[in-house]
Amino acid sequence: MLRATDMAQLLLTQRLKTGDVVVDATVGNGHDILFLADQVGPSGCVIGFDVQQAALDQAAALLGGRSNVRLVHAGHERLAEHLADEHVRLAAVMFNLGYLPGADKTVTTGAATTLAALQQALALLGIGGVVTLVLYPGHPGGAEEARAVLAFLESLDNDFAVSRYHRVNAVKPAPELLVVERKR
């Protein structure tokens, strides 16, 4: 079975094209931003956000100096502020919530900043664009963040289609994937 992060990438593989503008809202270990950079090619643009410089440094090393990526040392709740000059509609935004693997587990995403970032992402999303969110309800604060994100997404109107992928027979709270597509 695919992990939630793999499923998010698989879904976007079918949607992204060369030249698209996309966002990695939580750079973390750099795997999603590398994936996005490969998908949109040198004519595309990837903007990645993280509050931890260590995450950005790790991603920069993984990216190997690609010119189509801009790394931003800021929280994802500042997404719109850093995209104000872009004047484009986003093709995709990826969120991989929680904490940076191998780092301080007390530095995590939270409901307030994630909801602010999600609202901004949806406002900047083009028609047919997709937002993926991998939630980790099993870590401290993760269940609260997951509930808040789900409640917000359930309140969206029919301009958006929201899908949820999760393991139904997990013994403990397992990661899950939410996918939001802008229909109109």
Q: What is the pTM of this model?
A: 0.96
pLDDT at residue 6 greater than cutoff 80: yes
**48-94 pLDDT per residue, tens:** 999 999 999 999 999 999 999 999 999 999 999 999 877 889 999 99
Question: HSE (CB half, 13 Å, CA atoms) of 41?
Answer: 6
Long-range contacts of 66-70 (CB under 8 A, 24+ apart): 66/37, 66/42, 67/42, 68/37, 68/40, 68/41, 68/42, 68/43, 68/44, 69/33, 69/37, 70/45, 70/46
What pLDDT is stored for residue 113 in this prediction? Answer: 98
**30-51 pLDDT per residue, tens:** 999 999 999 999 999 999 999 9
Q: Are strands 160-166 and 90-96 parallel, antiparallel or unpaired?
A: unpaired
CATH number for the segment(s) 4-182: 3.40.50.150
Query: What are the CA-CA distances from residue 79 to residues 25, 65, 129 (Å)?
Result: 8, 22, 16
